Amino acid sequence: MTRRTQAQRISAVDAAALVRSGDWVEYGGGVGQPDVFDAALAERVDEIEDVKIRACLTVRPRAVLEVDPGRDHFHWFSWHYTGYDRAKGDSGLATYIPCNLGEVPDYYRRFVEPPEIAVIKTCPKDERGFFNFSLAALWHRAIVERAKLVIVEESAGLPYLDGLENAVHESEVDYIVEGDHGPAPEVPNPPPNDVDHAIALLIANEIEDGSCLQIGIGAMPNAVCSLLLESGVRDLGVHTEMLTDGIVDLYRAGVVTGARKTLHPGKVACSFGFGTERQYETAHRNPDFVCLAVDLVNLPVLVMQNERVVAINSTTQMDLQGQAASESAGHRHISGTGGQAQFVQGAYASPGGKSFICMSSEYERRGVRTSRIVVDLTPGNIVTTTRADVMYVVTEYGIVNLKGKSIPDRARAMISIAHPDYRDDLERDARGHSLIPKGFF
């Protein structure tokens, strides 16, 4: 909505002074989370209590959490955990909000009570009077529409990207805070290992000219990008929740052109991005890149409009029926649903589309090896993608398509891509639970 008075420039200290006990404060997500405001608010730790902060994808330590180890003053709620959020959750300082990430703008507009204050880090005001949300469109547009008070923390260090619902006009802003103008936080992907490469090779072989990519977070999905650089595939498109360095490398190599896309042809479309300076420099004011509100990216009805969509996401555990538990380890929350479930559905509905859920066949913790493919999910584990939605499953031992398969057929298929050391036990337990009935070979 349009504000009644012109936006005022105030200090971070004065902006933080506007927060009262009991307020809901929106911090936004990713590179859009405020830094100087956060530090100023933390200084008031002994003056206020029961301040509830909603955020997402935290990439830098947050001062309000560091100064309040007992959660006596600030309460942190997150739409999706990073490693930092997870550590705070383990300490009892953060709480996850279950969601399909592409639905969050609608939550704000329909279900979330208007927050008292929203503080979003943005690019400096442009020549048209807009503060650009940079590589973090997400649901920031919905937040500023609903918040009672809107503050922007402007920073020249953020990349500027065009895109639908990726800016707020000065007429909608109450206060402007000078940011630190430092560079956007770098979040490099972990280097892929041999297992990642083996899985990536299986997936890369399934990608054809003109495919439209969605790449999830992590070394494994991004290893696919590295292999595609050498595969000879051409005219790839990108319609993805998260922009990654791997996608940027494909673009810079000319492999990604978007020439065959239906939705946003010729454009790399995303809703947020993390990566290295190379990514930020490539995307900055680049007309080939658009950053869009997440409900303009993730909804299956939109994803399916591009042909040959290839969705590549990872998981941590799957059962023999094909349920993918990608966001928790028992009752311990790890990440979030994100856009995985929505892109799995959208890719399947896309003409010629494919979705891949990938994982290493086993993991080792404290010297104990454990299969990621199990008869029963760990108690408390959250199912991110249902068995009815899962299409291709990939480990370093192979690739299977679960669509159209019966429960016994699914069990046998999943066992076939498990680590060989666990296959006999998995089959015995599957028969013991009648997942593979007597007489079924």
Nearest-angstrom CA–CA distance, 110 and 104 = 10
By three-state DSSP, how is residue 316 classified? coil
Identified catalytic residue from 103, 153, 172, 241: 241
CB of 315 closer than 8 Å to CB of 384: yes
Distance between terminal CA atoms of the chain?
64
Q: Judge whether 396 counts as a catalytic residue.
A: no
The dihedral formed by the CA atoms of 320, 325, 328 and 329, expressed in degrees to the nearest 10:
10
Strand pairing class (362-365; 368-371): antiparallel
- Cα dist from 313 to 11, 237, 340, whole Å: 42, 17, 7
Q: Is 22 exposed, middle or buried (0-12, 13-18, 19+ CB in 10 A)?
A: exposed
Report yes or no: 242 and 272 within 8 Å, Cβ to Cβ: yes
Contacts of 151 (CB under 8 A, 6+ apart): 15, 18, 34, 37, 117, 118, 119, 120, 173, 174, 175, 176, 177
Residue with tokens 């930092």: 84
Q: Locate the DSSP E strands across 207-352.
A: 212-215, 237-239, 242-243, 268-270, 272-273, 289-291, 309-314, 317-319, 324-325, 328-329, 332-333
DSSP assignments along 42-100, one per residue = HTTTTT---EEEEEE---S--HHHHT-TT-SSEEEEESS--HHHHHHHHTT-EEE----
DSSP string over 382-423: PPSB-TTT--EEEETTEEEE-TT--HHHHHHHHHHTS-HHHH
Cα 53 versus chain centre, distance: 19
**Residue positions annotated with a catalytic role:** 241
